[in-house]
């Protein structure tokens, strides 16, 4: 029996981060659908079942390059969100000592010390802001 399972899983993807996300999202949606009745409950249960099926299809897939590319996209998206959250947390933490402005040209956040009056702020893109700190 153990050898039979080993043969089934040979050359397969397994549960990567995207498959785990789909699996747990499907479980959560199925749980929510149990509490909600009517059209919304059936819609959530449909999405939950699709998530579970897709997670297992991905886990048993032999198209490894495609599954790895999909997983890399998810991991890249998660890293961007983590970086954005860390930057936001730093801005909140330092808001007493620094004021933050967003460059209208490139969208980069610029940090300047507070209580310096009206100053010229130069961005790396070459845009100059005149702001009161």
Residue 63, pLDDT score: 86
Mean pLDDT of the chain: 89
Residue 93, pLDDT score: 94
pLDDT tens string 33-76 = 888 877 888 888 899 999 999 999 998 888 888 989 999 999 99
Contact status, residue 51 vs residue 99, Cβ threshold 8 Å? no
Residue 105, pLDDT score: 87
Burial class of 95 by CB neighbour count within 10 A (0 to 12, 13 to 18, 19+) = exposed
Residue 76, pLDDT score: 96
Residue of 78, 133, 129 lying closest to 108 (CA atoms)? 129
Residue of 98, 90, 94, 91 lying closest to 116 (CA atoms)? 98
């Amino acid at each position: 029996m153990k050898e039979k399972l080993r043969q089934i899983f040979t050359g397969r993807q397994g549960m990567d981060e995207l498959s785990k996300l789909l699996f747990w999202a499907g479980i959560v949606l199925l749980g929510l659908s149990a509490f909600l009745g009517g059209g919304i409950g059936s819609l959530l249960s449909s999405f939950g079942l699709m998530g579970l099926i897709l997670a297992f299809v991905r886990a048993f897939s032999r198209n490894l390059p495609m599954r790895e590319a999909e997983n890399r996209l998810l991991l890249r998206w998660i890293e961007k969100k983590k970086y954005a959250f860390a930057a936001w947390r730093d801005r909140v933490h330092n808001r007493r000592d620094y004021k933050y402005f967003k460059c209208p040209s490139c969208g980069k956040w610029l940090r300047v010390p507070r209580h310096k009056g009206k100053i010229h702020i130069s961005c790396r893109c070459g845009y100059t802001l005149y702001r009161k700190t």
